[in-house]
Structure 1
Amino acid sequence: MKVTLYKYIGILGAVLMFSACNKAFLERPPLNQVSEVTFWNRAEDVSQAVNGVYSQLGGVPIHDEGATDNAHAQYPWESYATQLSAGSLTTNVEGNWNFIAIRRCNYFLENADRAAPVLDAALLNRFKAEVRFLRVYFYANLVNKYGDVPLLTSTLAIDEVNVPRTPKAQVVDFMLTELEEIATLLPEEYTGGTDNQPGRITRGAALAMSARINLYEGNWTAAAAAAQRVMALGYSLFTISSENELDRPDNYAAWVDFANEADSINFKMGLRSYEGLFHQANEGNAEVILDRQYIPQVDANSLNTFLPAGNMNGWSSVTPTQSLVDAYDHYRTGMPIVPVSREQRATWYSSQDARFSDEYRNRDPRFYATVLFNGAPWNFFRENFVFQWAPGASNMSQTGYNFRKLVDPAAFRARPVLDNHANGILIRYAEMLLTYAEAANEESGPSAAVYAALDLIRRRAGMPPVNRVVYSSQQTLRNFIRNERRVELALEGHRFMDIRRWRIASQVMVDIYDLNNSVAQNRTWNDRFYLLPVPQSQIDLAQGVLTQNLGY
């Protein structure tokens, strides 16, 4: 039986009652802890405590895409993204203001040394480095959403809970210093066995997180350098060399004008490699730097429920926009496509004109691996399945499209039908290549190394290399890189920060329409939405010590 990192995550909750905390300001200490005398006396206690911290890692933040031009999140009870994109976000929304995970980290780091008599010193130091990374990861998510946040490096006594927000720059300095230190304490990989399971935090994860934080902060030199250090560690883009028997019946010759058989194979391998990266059968591949692991038959990532259409036993919770569809380049030329007008598309759609389908022809293989559009074949999902939008039906998309990416069709083939238990990839090698390309281009413009990094991603997708003539200046290459990030990392949560750090949200957060040219969502952007509001309930609990972000 496969040993997974989260085998014991439930044990810690029973032992330490960490999850007994509610969401009161900065998570006041629980009143029902076990005796301090009876814990930390065994090596197993420390191991289980570490796994309890890992359990706080969230999955792929698909709902964040609904607060961008990539997707529509149609159910306001699932996330704040629906209200944020509509411009109706208020201070009553709790959002991501949550310090439970950080408190777990601090509690562990304060107490782990008590196990020194029963635990190997090197293992103890590595455990502490893993938890320090996780604390940085949790803080990075808070800073990205709220800016200034209270920086806590120890658990608080009952009379210490009202802590003011720390300036963002100070929190960022703390995170980057932590990552640089713990990178030297973490291994490049794990060999397996107890406390050495693949999936734990590695040196690559620490360096990759440093690259991401520096990129978001516009520290181009540091971001490029950290990404290069990751690129030297031996990660590679996931690829496959043949289709399986369930994929083979999909007739993509109806959608792509293949020049010959070799061209057809190139296209299919690009599509299958990209979508297969996220399937359970290929989890733990050489592209994965950090993932949230799920235990088969025990806990599910719910992506097979959130993303498919109602007639596919899903909810259509998060669905692609026409804007995302338009972002995928032409397969043959590698150049952007020119979309038709909304009015023309609606006319062709309603009259069943054959020209309606032309927009979906000869597109980047990643388009076919990411978006379910009218006429999209997917035999692996169901024998001879072809997607058709059913407007107005229960749990159907409001845009006319559904996501195929991150949905694992093997689960639908199982008997009985299973949920999706594929690990959620939180950091992967393709992100680092894009980070390096963006940072290096912003620092000094196009270079052979920047083009080479981008070409690796394009080649895996089956796309032509970057056109060095068309994208020869810093500005033109900047635009190319930004679009490449959009299509490569779609639905993985990156677009939320990208449109904010590039300050383009006011340009792209516009009304979205369905295939009938009916409004799917009216959107209103206000610059206060570059940061989320601190929940008013937390300000009240803090007796005014916490301050609100501007504009709320």
Structure 2
Amino acid sequence: MKFFNHITIPAVLAATVLLVSACKENFLDVVPTDRVSDASILSDSVLFEAYVTNRYMGTRLTEKEAEGTLPGFGRGFEYALWSSVTDESIYNNDDNTWLIQRGQLAPENTGIAGTIWGRSYRSIREINYALANVDKVPMSEGRKRNLKAELQFIRAFRYHDLIRNYGRVVLLGDKVYEISDNLTSPELFTRSDIKAGIDYAVAQLDEAIAGLPATNTNSWALGRATKGAAMALKARMLLYGASPLYNAATWQAAAAAAKAVMDLNQYSLSSGGYGPMFTTTSYNSEIIFGRLYAQGARHVCLEIANGPNSYNAWGGNVPLQNMVDAYEMAATGLPISNPVSGYNPQNPYVGRDPRFYATILYNDAPYRNSIIQTFTPGGKDSKDGPSNWNTSKTGYYLKKFMNDNLPIDNPWDIAGTQTWIYFRLAEVLLNYAEAQNEAVGPDASVYAAVNAIRQRPGVNMPALPTGLTQIQMRERIRNERRVELAFEEHRYYDVRRWKIAPQTENAPAYGVEINKTGNAYTYKAKEALTGRSFSEKQYWLPIPRAEIQASNNQLEQNPGY
């Protein structure tokens, strides 16, 4: 069953509003059979709570957004992950990602990045509708207080997604725009500065924190917001705000917000190892907020979408050599570029950070009672193997998130049940370390936060060397984020907020060619995707042309587009 309010459209799309208005006026006497009326929702507490729950989802606006299950806040488990518009991976079969990698984004051609603006504002209007009417619903005042806080969290998340992608956004407050309103008013299309947007979202989160439960128990199902989730989102927003691209908050405030989450003492780094955390179908001690997927329902089947070609899988999001090279040597804790690290370029996959083995499938990696063979000639997971149209263009396949116990052949209604993690403790620790280092330098608490991650169960990397300068610590933290949070939709935003994208996103998209002669391998770098490019305007996404036109050209486009 679907739970919609009477107009489910982006509040700022005046032209679309008018179109829906015309349709609505012509069919007032028709009772839809696939939706519930406003009156029913507002008179039934069960229906209203279902309406609130559905705000964690969105409308499927493009072909490849999810499968069966509606899209969540972020992209999450979809065919082309957000990593494939960064230097982490490329999407083997494009799916509208290559144009972003090649710097060809335009308001008329947004690739997989075209739905964020419309979906976010649609959700904000739906949330405003719920907040405006919750007091009419027959339920206890305590329950209403909880639901209001939950809705404020969701709304803040939507603004967070808008701000990190577009910069300046339209702040709509609590108003629920109706067809009878003046939908050409400039207030619908005036973009606030970044600081105002962050301040608004943070204020919403402060209110939400006061009303949300500490844990999801009893009637609060797993997968719904808690105090910790709102606090983690606040910490992320303030970290972004303090970063060079935003310059809209202080490092001190960002550090304090992350420390507040740590001081809850409610979360701990997963004791079950690094890799298994990403295949869980429930929460563990590290997950602060995630999206659970129902068993027995159609989902994006990660294993077939990303697995190697010899297993009848489709390749999907294939890691770049750029990403592989970020993993340090386990024995020394040094980058492979350091001549005393212990790295052997003739045996490049031996002795690396354990997170490498949990994240990336490489030549000779054990996999499903066999081994990966990306070498040529004759490697079963190379172009010489079966289903060679799905052969990795980089020489690597994605391991992270993949559950080897789920089928690749005929996975429908079985696979794709992994929890998508939006916030976990490791991110909060890294947020704190970065903000604290920028605020006061590499004090003992910065070392403690980073080393806790490096020495987490199943990783056990050497502690950072003492005596690092602030600049040296900054580089170590940035690389730690890269490997710890790989493929979790952070890298795209990190390189932009640090303003290092001209370096990282203009670097070629490297892969590896492996030639086998007898029992020996030789390794040669190759360019897996040509034309990779980044220009200044790409710090922000373009607002889709349709949104500009719907505003009668009142909505200001981002610079350079």
Question: Under TM normalisation by the shorter chain, which class is it?
Answer: 0.7 to 0.9
Q: CA deviation at 1:179?
A: 0.8
> Which AA in structure 1 matches 2:155?
R
List per-residue Cα deviations over 1:245-302 (Å, max 9, x = no partner): xxxxxxxxxxxxxxxxxxxxxxxxxxxx111001135x21011111112111124244
Q: Which is worse superposed, 387-396 or 316-325?
A: 387-396
Contact 1:437 1:481 in 2 (8 A): yes
Of 49, 70, 74, the residue aligned with 2:88 is: 70
Q: Secondary structure at the match of 2:288?
A: strand
> Which AA in structure 2 matches 1:55?
M
Partners of 1:104 and 1:494 in 2: CA distance: 27
User: Which residue in 1 is equivalent to 2:532?
Assistant: 523
User: Which residue in 1 is equivalent to 2:480?
Assistant: 484
Partners of 1:11 and 1:429 in 2: CA distance: 34
Whether 1:91 aligns to 2:107 is yes
Q: 1:161 to 1:226 in 2, by over 3 A?
A: same
List per-residue Cα deviations over 1:88-130 (Å, max 9, x = no partner): 1111122422222222211211111110xx2011111101111
List per-residue Cα deviations over 1:317-374 (Å, max 9, x = no partner): 321111110000001011111299xxxxxxxxxxxxxx86611110000000000111
Partners of 1:196 and 1:51 in 2: CA distance: 10
Partners of 1:311 and 1:22 in 2: CA distance: 48
Q: CA deviation at 1:227?
A: 0.9
Q: Secondary structure at the match of 1:182?
A: helix
> Which AA in structure 2 matches 1:114?
K
Q: Secondary structure at the match of 1:55?
A: coil
Whether 1:220 aligns to 2:251 is yes
Q: CA deviation at 1:20?
A: 7.8
Mapping for residues 183-332 of structure 1, pairs under 5 Å:
183-192=209-218, 195-218=219-242, 219-233=250-264, 234-240=266-272, 273-281=273-281, 283-332=282-331
Instruction: Give the TM-score taking structure 1 as reference length.
Output: 0.82
Contact 1:27 1:103 in 2 (8 A): no
Aligned length: 485
Partners of 2:223 and 2:510 in 1: CA distance: 40
User: Which residue in 2 is equivalent to 1:171?
Assistant: 197
Contact 1:288 1:428 in 2 (8 A): yes
Q: 1:377 to 1:292 in 2, by over 3 A?
A: same
Partners of 2:403 and 2:284 in 1: CA distance: 16
User: Which residue in 1 is equivalent to 2:28?
Assistant: none
Of 38, 41, 50, the residue aligned with 1:39 is: 41
Partners of 2:432 and 2:15 in 1: CA distance: 36
User: Which residue in 1 is equivalent to 2:355?
Assistant: 366
Partners of 2:217 and 2:41 in 1: CA distance: 28
Contact 2:238 2:253 in 1 (8 A): yes
Mapping for residues 92-107 of structure 1, pairs under 5 Å:
92=108, 93=110, 94-98=114-118, 99-107=121-129
User: Which residue in 1 is equivalent to 2:177?
Assistant: 156
> Which AA in structure 1 matches 2:537?
R
> Which AA in structure 2 matches 1:65?
S
Partners of 1:416 and 1:71 in 2: CA distance: 24
Of 49, 54, 57, the residue aligned with 1:55 is: 57
> Which AA in structure 2 matches 1:323?
N
Of 389, 406, 409, the residue aligned with 2:404 is: 409
User: Which residue in 1 is equivalent to 2:441?
Assistant: 445
Whether 1:548 aligns to 2:540 is no
Partners of 2:194 and 2:301 in 1: CA distance: 33
Partners of 1:185 and 1:508 in 2: CA distance: 41
Partners of 2:263 and 2:277 in 1: CA distance: 21
Q: Which is worse superposed, 181-190 or 517-526?
A: 517-526
Contact 1:75 1:82 in 2 (8 A): no
User: Which residue in 1 is equivalent to 2:383?
Assistant: 391
Q: Which is worse superposed, 459-468 or 137-146?
A: 459-468
Whether 1:501 aligns to 2:523 is no
Q: Secondary structure at the match of 1:184?
A: helix
Partners of 1:113 and 1:396 in 2: CA distance: 56
Gaps of 5+ in 2: 25-31, 59-71, 243-249, 375-380, 514-524
The percentage of counterpart residues that share the same residue type is: 33
Q: 1:104 to 1:306 in 2, by over 3 A?
A: farther
> Which AA in structure 2 matches 1:519?
E
List per-residue Cα deviations over 1:459-499 (Å, max 9, x = no partner): 11423343333x51101111000000000000000001100
Partners of 1:317 and 1:26 in 2: CA distance: 37
Instruction: Give the TM-score taking structure 2 as reference length.
Output: 0.81
> Which AA in structure 2 matches 1:391?
K
Mapping for residues 127-146 of structure 1, pairs under 5 Å:
127-146=147-166
Q: Which is worse superposed, 223-232 or 325-334?
A: 223-232
Partners of 2:224 and 2:135 in 1: CA distance: 20
Partners of 1:358 and 1:102 in 2: CA distance: 52
Q: 1:301 to 1:123 in 2, by over 3 A?
A: farther
Whether 1:462 aligns to 2:463 is no
Partners of 2:16 and 2:147 in 1: CA distance: 23
Partners of 1:322 and 1:464 in 2: CA distance: 21
Contact 1:314 1:395 in 2 (8 A): yes
Q: Which is worse superposed, 329-338 or 26-35?
A: 26-35
Q: Secondary structure at the match of 2:369?
A: coil
Q: 1:237 to 1:26 in 2, by over 3 A?
A: farther
Q: 1:17 to 1:519 in 2, by over 3 A?
A: farther
Contact 2:101 2:532 in 1 (8 A): yes
Q: 1:238 to 1:160 in 2, by over 3 A?
A: farther
User: Which residue in 2 is equivalent to 1:345?
Assistant: none
Contact 2:269 2:425 in 1 (8 A): yes
Of 406, 428, 449, the residue aligned with 2:424 is: 428
Q: Which is worse superposed, 441-450 or 87-96?
A: 87-96
List per-residue Cα deviations over 1:125-155 (Å, max 9, x = no partner): 1011111101111111111111112112322
Contact 2:395 2:512 in 1 (8 A): yes
Contact 1:299 1:421 in 2 (8 A): no
Q: 1:357 to 1:468 in 2, by over 3 A?
A: closer
Contact 1:301 1:424 in 2 (8 A): no
Contact 2:353 2:461 in 1 (8 A): no
Q: Secondary structure at the match of 2:389?
A: coil
Partners of 2:560 and 2:454 in 1: CA distance: 41
Q: CA deviation at 1:541?
A: 1.2
Q: 1:138 to 1:534 in 2, by over 3 A?
A: same
Partners of 2:426 and 2:254 in 1: CA distance: 15
Partners of 2:464 and 2:453 in 1: CA distance: 14
Q: CA deviation at 1:28?
A: 3.0
Q: CA deviation at 1:425?
A: 0.5
Contact 2:319 2:398 in 1 (8 A): yes
Whether 1:12 aligns to 2:3 is yes
> Which AA in structure 2 matches 1:397?
S
Structure 1 vs Structure 2 CA RMSD: 2.6
Partners of 2:84 and 2:443 in 1: CA distance: 34
